[in-house]
Amino acid sequence: VTVGPGPRVVDLNADAGESYGVWRLGADEELLDVITSVNVACGFHAGDPATIDRTVTAAVGRGIAVGAQVSYPDLAGFGRREMAMEPGDLASCVLYQVGAVAGFARAAGGRLGYLKPHGALYHRAARDEAAATAVAEAARRYDPQLPVLTLPGSALAAAAEAAGLPVVAEGFADRAYTPDGSLVPRGRPGALLVDEAAAAEQALRLAGSVRSLCVHSDTPGAGPIARRVRAALTGAGWTIAPFASTGR
Amino acid sequence: VTVGPGPRVVDLNADAGESYGVWRLGADEELLDVITSVNVACGFHAGDPATIDRTVTAAVGRGIAVGAQVSYPDLAGFGRREMAMEPGDLASCVLYQVGAVAGFARAAGGRLGYLKPHGALYHRAARDEAAATAVAEAARRYDPQLPVLTLPGSALAAAAEAAGLPVVAEGFADRAYTPDGSLVPRGRPGALLVDEAAAAEQALRLAGSVRSLCVHSDTPGAGPIARRVRAALTGAGWTIAPFASTGR
Amino acid sequence: VTVGPGPRVVDLNADAGESYGVWRLGADEELLDVITSVNVACGFHAGDPATIDRTVTAAVGRGIAVGAQVSYPDLAGFGRREMAMEPGDLASCVLYQVGAVAGFARAAGGRLGYLKPHGALYHRAARDEAAATAVAEAARRYDPQLPVLTLPGSALAAAAEAAGLPVVAEGFADRAYTPDGSLVPRGRPGALLVDEAAAAEQALRLAGSVRSLCVHSDTPGAGPIARRVRAALTGAGWTIAPFASTGR
Amino acid sequence: VTVGPGPRVVDLNADAGESYGVWRLGADEELLDVITSVNVACGFHAGDPATIDRTVTAAVGRGIAVGAQVSYPDLAGFGRREMAMEPGDLASCVLYQVGAVAGFARAAGGRLGYLKPHGALYHRAARDEAAATAVAEAARRYDPQLPVLTLPGSALAAAAEAAGLPVVAEGFADRAYTPDGSLVPRGRPGALLVDEAAAAEQALRLAGSVRSLCVHSDTPGAGPIARRVRAALTGAGWTIAPFASTGR
């Protein structure tokens, strides 16, 4: 089941809930006014329980779809370091995080809308079949109808499809792509588009081929970029709406 | 709503899922053959995701009710050290753990049956109104019908009652009581009843006044004690059955 | 052995190294240009190894004395939550942190200059004799000459004195005091002096009676406050110098 | 500088201090009566501060050389999962652990004797030059004379040699080797020699070509195996002695 781009309907997603204890990160407040789906950190790469609680409650209150942004267990590395987890352990880790965020969504009167891997797990699940299958299997065990947000053509897209899960294609408004369609790795020069106009242009270019566009929360100027992307899309006749149920 | 002891029906509960990574703890396999409710570690004092997954799956498969044994976040101290958490943070921590275990229960084809605090949080919620309210509130936010397993007469019993939650009175077959009805603190001589006959006798004495009896998993000889307790109860005409729904 | 205020010599100390992974905290760079002693987070409330490494190396390079700011193990609570640790466990935790920071100091060509507890442990060691003794004992085991930086008149001052350790009296330039000489708890209105002039005035008032003055790194405007405090002190004829050896 | 096998002098090393909180692991007490060097867990894959304290104190008291068994930060995976840490972060992590264990050794009246990587880091540093250099560099920064215990011919042996550190060749009495001289990976059938006679025979075979022989603490029957290995070596005329200074 692939959830394709509707007739000029597109979703805007961003990460949030990435603060931890006293440490603040991201432009959550600003972004929640712009996006229609929120990838909530689940406590493994970021997000203490109080932060997740606050983030999910705010999202549900605004009708934003809540996604579990599952990660390797690696606070110190923000989930950006590949870890050689066995598929079975990985599946249990994913299911743990999915349940935790789903509990907050339920408590807030909403429901878990989708799953999206974070950081190194995003990249591994995009190319490694065993990891992709573990992630998809965890999602399916939790809810056979849970949408999986991922790169089109990725191993995770295939594994989720095989598991009978809705697959939602994602593009990145503010990350540079290589000619072959993969992302320029973080840390490389030009990996992040910090120019609002460039991000807006890229969003318009991608909107036809993906159902959801990601704008980053930790890009400098994340709020203004997201607003510019949204304005460009609506200006071009796109409706901005979540792909997942918000449970309300 | 207090769930009293039925006409000669009593539940046997024990902790499980308290291994962590390579470290093994508890007589889980033996106990799952004897008990009717299992208090599953949620990852905060013990229990990595794979251990929780395995434990919950085994419990659901045997028709055992699954409880979330919520704790302070303290692996190094096994949740036995009091921590001065703010009630708001505590409630979010409890909700996080409840969701995580509930997710595994759902994935296994069952459902979360109840909540029981662990260790230092058990004791704090038994006597501190603010903590008790935080725990009860987290349970209520997740499910207004979620039973709370706790000491009769405790602050948590009162807070759960006030929140409209089912309250289930618990007794300890293998922990010594003081004359005023509280538990002899761990570490004191005689705190644990390691004599099978003494535990069985105490179980028979308590069965009339509580709905669930706890047998410990980390007591030396936990398996044989639990079997002896169960045999004594059934021999005396008690039916051993969970108080909570197993979702099947 | 009490290290008293020298003849118009005073030390300026501040916390640093409190970032963790991607999360940034504190005005480290600015403060290292102003202070003469740095309280380095040891990884238990903040400070990943790379952050500690960078912070200690920068401090040693500038001739700043390096202190180990030991804490309860509580990243999520930034070491600000009281934890009921047994004195023996506490002493081992303190020694672990002391060794870790001392290793970085040695690697940078310097040496560990002193110990100062952080957050909830600072407050507990100031009033609880068992905890104070555990902290002092850990310091003494590492180095019988290791200075301990603490509130004058505190339980830790007494315990360190009893252990034969140099005790260094500390005052706070930018924290409000109660009439009885203790600190107004964080979170209370007015607990932090965010006015540069008020902090500078308080520093001048305290300089005669303490050997070291603390300026905070996480106060809004921490850098400007520290510079103003330093300017006021030097303007009034005080020499700003560390109380501890920098090992160079 | 390579520390070769002396004229019929060999060292016996084993891991210890791998308990964590309530969780017990290893036959530490038994092994400390047999070995001459102990690889102490540093808190990253195992070993809470109280456990490390106890282990190091016991070792120093018996004249056993204390090694820091540095690891990736991965309690849940016991340091056995490869993690893609940047060399700079890895070096800081190693230095942190070295300092922590060295502090306990110093407090116990001894000194840190050597460094040995654990688990996945052992294997990575054996074959990956960047990681090997990071580990060696951390050791050198702490002490330019710190011996590094590692596989002969490994990348770490080369990097330590290049850094001017003493390199100590290690063999495994109770791990099976492949024909090319590397270890049969854990988990493969026959990876661990659990037969005492086989381990003793392998020890005799290796003693001529390595300076230290590792016996495992988590092999079933670790104590008896170690005693049998030691008896076989002494029976064949080998002197069992540490390669590193114990500081006493």
pLDDT for position B1: 61
pLDDT for position A79: 98
- Count of CB atoms situated within 10 Å of the CB of A7: 7
Determine, for residues D99 and C99 on separate chains, whether the beta-carbon distance falls below 8 Å: yes
Q: What is the mean pLDDT of chain D?
A: 94
A19 Rama sector, left if φ>0, alpha if ψ -120 to 50, beta otherwise: beta
**C45, C85, C97: best to mutate for the B interface, most B CBs within 10 A:** C85
Q: Once rounded to an integer, what is the mean pLDDT over residues B78-107?
A: 98
- Return d(Cα B202, Cα B105) in angstroms, integer: 32
Using a CB-CB cut-off of 8 Å, the residues of chain D touching B22 are: 25, 46, 78, 218
DSSP state of D125: H
- Structure-block tokens of residue A37: 């789906």
Least confident of A181-190, B42-51, D48-57: A181-190
| B159-208 pLDDT per residue, tens | 999 999 999 999 999 999 988 878 888 889 989 898 999 999 999 999 98
Q: How far is A216 from chain C (nearest CA, A)?
A: 15
More confident residue, D248 or B9: B9
- Return d(Cα D140, Cα D146) in angstroms, integer: 7
Per DSSP, helices labelled H in C108-244 are 119-127, 129-142, 155-162, 196-207, 222-235
| A162-179 pLDDT per residue, tens | 999 999 999 999 999 988
CA distances from D161 to D98, D116, D183 (A): 19, 14, 22
pLDDT for position A217: 82
Using a CB-CB cut-off of 8 Å, the residues of chain D touching C96 are: 43, 49, 52-53, 100, 103-104
Residue with tokens 């021999």: B235
Largest CA distance in chain A: 47
Nearest to A117 by CA among A156, A61, A169: A156
Size of interface A-C (CB pairs under 8 A): 33
- Return d(Cα B36, Cα D32) in angstroms, integer: 43
pLDDT for position B182: 81
- Return d(Cα A143, Cα A182) in angstroms, integer: 29
Residue with tokens 């409330």: C45
- Return d(Cα C153, Cα C170) in angstroms, integer: 10
Q: How far is A74 from chain D (nearest CA, A)?
A: 8
Determine, for residues C82 and B77 on separate chains, whether the beta-carbon distance falls below 8 Å: no
Least confident of A194-203, C144-153, D107-116, D215-224: D215-224
Q: Which among C19, C22, C218 has CB closest to A78?
A: C22
Residue with tokens 């302070």: B72
Per residue, what are the HEC states of A89-158?
Answer: HHHHHHHHHHHHHHHHHHHCCCCEEEEEECHHHHHHHHHCHHHHHHHHHHHHHHCCCCCEEECCCCHHHH
Using a CB-CB cut-off of 8 Å, the residues of chain B touching D78 are: 21-22
pLDDT for position C226: 95
- Count of CB atoms situated within 10 Å of the CB of A231: 13
Per residue, what are the HEC states of chain B?
Answer: CEECCECCEEEEEEEECCCECCECCCCHHHHHCCCCEEEEECCCCCCCHHHHHHHHHHHHHCCCEEEEEECCCCCCCCCCCCECCCHHHHHHHHHHHHHHHHHHHHHCCCCEEEEEECHHHHHHHHHCHHHHHHHHHHHHHHCCCCCEEECCCCHHHHHHHHCCCCEEEEEECCECECCCCCECCCCCCCCECCCHHHHHHHHHHHHCCCCEEECCCCCCCHHHHHHHHHHHHHHCCCEECCCCCCCC
Using a CB-CB cut-off of 8 Å, the residues of chain A touching B89 are: 48-50
Determine, for residues A20 and C25 on separate chains, whether the beta-carbon distance falls below 8 Å: no
pLDDT for position D241: 97
Using a CB-CB cut-off of 8 Å, the residues of chain A touching B100 are: 96-97, 99-100, 103
**D95, D104, D111: best to mutate for the C interface, most C CBs within 10 A:** D95
- Structure-block tokens of residue A207: 């909107």
Q: Reply yes or no on whether the pLDDT at A6 is more than 60.
A: no
Q: Reply yes or no on whether the pLDDT at B210 is more than 80.
A: yes
- Return d(Cα C213, Cα C171) in angstroms, integer: 5
| D142-155 pLDDT per residue, tens | 999 999 999 999 99
Q: Which among A73, A76, A81 has CB closest to D76?
A: A73
Per residue, what are the HEC states of C14-34?
Answer: EEECCCECCECCCCHHHHHCC
Q: Once rounded to an integer, what is the mean pLDDT over residues C172-200?
A: 89
Determine, for residues C76 and A23 on separate chains, whether the beta-carbon distance falls below 8 Å: no
Q: How far is D53 from chain A (nearest CA, A)?
A: 25
Q: Of the spans A28-32, A132-136, C25-29, which averages the highest pLDDT?
A: A132-136
Per DSSP, helices labelled H in A143-221 are 155-162, 196-207
Residue with tokens 């791990």: D175
Q: Once rounded to an integer, what is the mean pLDDT over residues B73-92?
A: 98
Chain C residue closest in CA terms to B120 = C84
Q: How far is CA B65 from the centre of its chain?
A: 11
Q: Once rounded to an integer, what is the mean pLDDT over residues B227-243?
A: 97
Burial of A39 (0-12, 13-18, 19+ CB in 10 A): buried
Q: How far is A72 from chain D (nearest CA, A)?
A: 10
Q: Reply yes or no on whether the pLDDT at A3 is more than 70.
A: no
Q: Reply yes or no on whether the pLDDT at D242 is more than 90.
A: yes
| A126-163 pLDDT per residue, tens | 999 999 999 999 999 999 999 999 999 999 999 999 99
Q: Which chains touch D (3 or more CB pairs under 8 A)?
A: A, B, C
Residue A218: band (very low, low, confident or very high) from pLDDT cuts 50, 70, 90 = confident
| C217-237 pLDDT per residue, tens | 877 789 999 999 999 999 999
- Return d(Cα A179, Cα A128) in angstroms, integer: 21
Determine, for residues C76 and B77 on separate chains, whether the beta-carbon distance falls below 8 Å: no
Q: Which among B95, B101, B104 has CB closest to A49?
A: B95
Q: Three-class SS of residue D58?
A: helix
Q: How far is C191 from chain A (nearest CA, A)?
A: 17
Within 8 A by CB and 6+ apart from D17, the residues are: D26, D28, D38, D40, D41, D46, D47, D51, D52, D54, D55, D56
Nearest to A107 by CA among C190, B142, C78: B142
Q: Reply yes or no on whether the pLDDT at A125 is more than 60.
A: yes
A60, A32 Cβ separation under 8 angstroms: no
Nearest to D49 by CA among C96, C142, B46, C84: C96
- Count of CB atoms situated within 10 Å of the CB of C8: 12
Q: How far is A85 from chain D (nearest CA, A)?
A: 6
Q: Reply yes or no on whether the pLDDT at B59 is more than 60.
A: yes
Amino acid at C126: A
Chain A residue closest in CA terms to C47 = A76
**C19, C95, C140, C142: best to mutate for the D interface, most D CBs within 10 A:** C95
- Count of CB atoms situated within 10 Å of the CB of A212: 29
- Structure-block tokens of residue D216: 């495992």
Residue D4: band (very low, low, confident or very high) from pLDDT cuts 50, 70, 90 = low
Pairing assessment for the beta strands C65-70 and A2-3 based on DSSP bridges: unpaired
Residue B2: band (very low, low, confident or very high) from pLDDT cuts 50, 70, 90 = low
Q: Three-class SS of residue D73?
A: coil
Q: Three-class SS of residue D46?
A: coil
Geometric angle at alpha carbon C118, from C117 and C120, rounded to 5°: 105
Q: Which chains touch C (3 or more CB pairs under 8 A)?
A: A, B, D
Using a CB-CB cut-off of 8 Å, the residues of chain A touching C76 are: 20-21, 48
Pairing assessment for the beta strands D37-41 and A167-172 based on DSSP bridges: unpaired
Q: Reply yes or no on whether the pLDDT at C7 is more than 80.
A: no
- Return d(Cα D26, Cα D167) in angstroms, integer: 27
Handedness of CA D195, D197, D198, D199 (dihedral sign): positive
Determine, for residues D20 and B25 on separate chains, whether the beta-carbon distance falls below 8 Å: no
| A42-96 pLDDT per residue, tens | 999 999 999 999 999 999 999 999 999 999 999 999 999 999 999 999 999 999 9
- Structure-block tokens of residue D164: 């001017």
Determine, for residues A81 and D82 on separate chains, whether the beta-carbon distance falls below 8 Å: no
Chain B residue closest in CA terms to A140 = B107
D120-132 CB burial, b ≥16 within 10 A, e <16: bbbbbbbebeebb
Residue with tokens 């299958």: A133
Q: How far is C54 from chain D (nearest CA, A)?
A: 9
- Structure-block tokens of residue A112: 């878990």
A48, A20 Cβ separation under 8 angstroms: yes
Determine, for residues A100 and B104 on separate chains, whether the beta-carbon distance falls below 8 Å: no
| B93-142 pLDDT per residue, tens | 999 999 999 999 999 999 999 999 999 999 999 999 999 999 999 999 99
Q: Which chains touch A (3 or more CB pairs under 8 A)?
A: B, C, D
Residue D5: band (very low, low, confident or very high) from pLDDT cuts 50, 70, 90 = low
C44, C95 Cβ separation under 8 angstroms: no
| C63-86 pLDDT per residue, tens | 999 999 999 999 999 999 999 999
Q: What is the mean pLDDT of chain C?
A: 94
C57, B54 Cβ separation under 8 angstroms: no
- Return d(Cα D74, Cα C194) in angstroms, integer: 40
Pairing assessment for the beta strands D167-172 and D148-150 based on DSSP bridges: parallel
Which phi and psi (to 5°) does residue B201 adopt? -60, -45
Q: Once rounded to an integer, what is the mean pLDDT over residues B12-41?
A: 96
- Structure-block tokens of residue A74: 């690696």
Residue C6: band (very low, low, confident or very high) from pLDDT cuts 50, 70, 90 = low
B58, B40 Cβ separation under 8 angstroms: no
Q: Reply yes or no on whether the pLDDT at A2 is more than 70.
A: no
Using a CB-CB cut-off of 8 Å, the residues of chain A touching C22 are: 25, 46, 78, 218
More confident residue, A188 or A186: A188
Determine, for residues C20 and A25 on separate chains, whether the beta-carbon distance falls below 8 Å: no
| D102-161 pLDDT per residue, tens | 999 999 999 999 999 999 999 999 999 999 999 999 999 999 999 999 999 999 999 999
Using a CB-CB cut-off of 8 Å, the residues of chain A touching B92 are: 48-50, 52-53
Determine, for residues A83 and D84 on separate chains, whether the beta-carbon distance falls below 8 Å: yes
Burial of C9 (0-12, 13-18, 19+ CB in 10 A): middle
